[in-house]
Structure 1
């Protein structure tokens, strides 16, 4: 596999994390670059680890992971999205701008979201076990691309959050549900 192919895989694996990061950034109260980098690092590490896990499992786990990865990703993203929508709908009408929005997301919430958006990378890693590829450099490239995309996504979400106001959390939840639905539809063959 050449460098261009590795980059394409890396950015393809990071697109759903980017969309989730935009939602995450929109739900925060004025996220700063430090929080964006923290989020990017968490997502990047998870996104780099999942293809390594998939590659290590190889032939034995590939059928199992390919059979269920879309359902797991959909379930986690749908639950997180529903939680965000509920939180967005429960804000009172007289909230101050930024009130009720956290300054940062918990490590647990970021890790679950990062895992949900990277579980398909495990199946990719399992597929890479059958071709001649340097899995360490490929996983590092995937992780780095994800870190950059997520960091940028949180900052984009900051702008969108300021424009959309306190209802941005609803949009973030819808984005997560949309990503999960897209993953599910793709794996079920509804997308050509």
Structure 2
């Protein structure tokens, strides 16, 4: 996998975490840098671990499905990308409650959100098991990109709002679909 493809994959996988961290930042009362870094670290760590878990599961099954691995990668990435695009097109949820905003989120809330936004990275990890890639480099790149985007999203969420986060999620979904299509074309026509 080329460096540009790894970068595209990393930022595509980070888009939903970026959108979620912007929403978290938008719901806080003036998020501080320390809270943004905490959010980024939690999201980035979880997002780096989940493709490794998916890769391990996919690698265990790769010998049985090697003939159709490119189709599996294409379908998984297309479904994940489509889900991200669909999520970006949904109307934003409104803030509920008494209008007061917390100064920081609990660890449990951030972990639950990080896990929910990283399930797609686990599925991508499964698809990467069928390719000749260095999963550690890819996982570190995904985690690093997620850390950067989530930190920025949490910090600037209040000012930029959830709308920009939804655009990033949609673009990330389109990026994943493009990667899946590229894998399929490479295996069908260039292999």
Q: Give the TM-score band, short-chain normalised.
A: 0.5 to 0.7
> Could you say what secondary structure the match of 1:30 adopts?
coil
TM-score (norm 1): 0.67
Note the 1:95-110 alignment, pairs <5 A: 100-110=100-110
Query: For residues 4 and 31 of structure 1, do their structure 2 counterparts lie closer, same or farther at Cα, with a shift above 3 Å needed?
Result: same
- Name the structure 1 match of 2:24: 24
1:30 & 1:158 partners in 2: Cα distance?
A: 7
Q: Give the counterpart of 1:90 among 97, 100, 110.
A: 97
Superposed displacement of residue 42, structure 1: 0.2
Superposed displacement of residue 159, structure 1: 1.7
Matched pairs, number = 153
- Name the structure 2 match of 1:122: 122
Superposed displacement of residue 119, structure 1: 0.7
- Name the structure 2 match of 1:156: 156
Note the 1:44-123 alignment, pairs <5 A: 44-58=44-58, 60=61, 85=94, 88-91=95-98, 100-123=100-123
2:142 & 2:160 partners in 1: Cα distance?
A: 26
Gaps of 5+ in 2: 63-68, 178-191
TM-score (norm 2): 0.67
> Could you say what secondary structure the match of 1:132 adopts?
coil
Superposed displacement of residue 112, structure 1: 1.0
**1:143 equivalenced with 2:143 (yes/no):** yes
- Name the structure 2 match of 1:168: none
- Name the structure 2 match of 1:134: 134
Gaps of 5+ in 1: 162-170, 188-192
Give runs of ≥4 in structure 1 deviating > 4 Å.
none
- Name the structure 2 match of 1:167: none
- Name the structure 1 match of 2:9: 9
1:90 & 1:108 partners in 2: Cα distance?
A: 20
Superposed displacement of residue 39, structure 1: 0.1
Superposed displacement of residue 158, structure 1: 2.6
Superposed displacement of residue 101, structure 1: 1.1
CA deviations 1:131-177 (Å, max 9, x no partner) are 1111111100000000000011112213246xxxxxxxxx69xx78x
Superposed displacement of residue 89, structure 1: 2.8
CA deviations 1:83-138 (Å, max 9, x no partner) are x75xx3331xxx6xxxx211110111111111111111111111111111111111
1:89 & 1:38 partners in 2: Cα distance?
A: 24
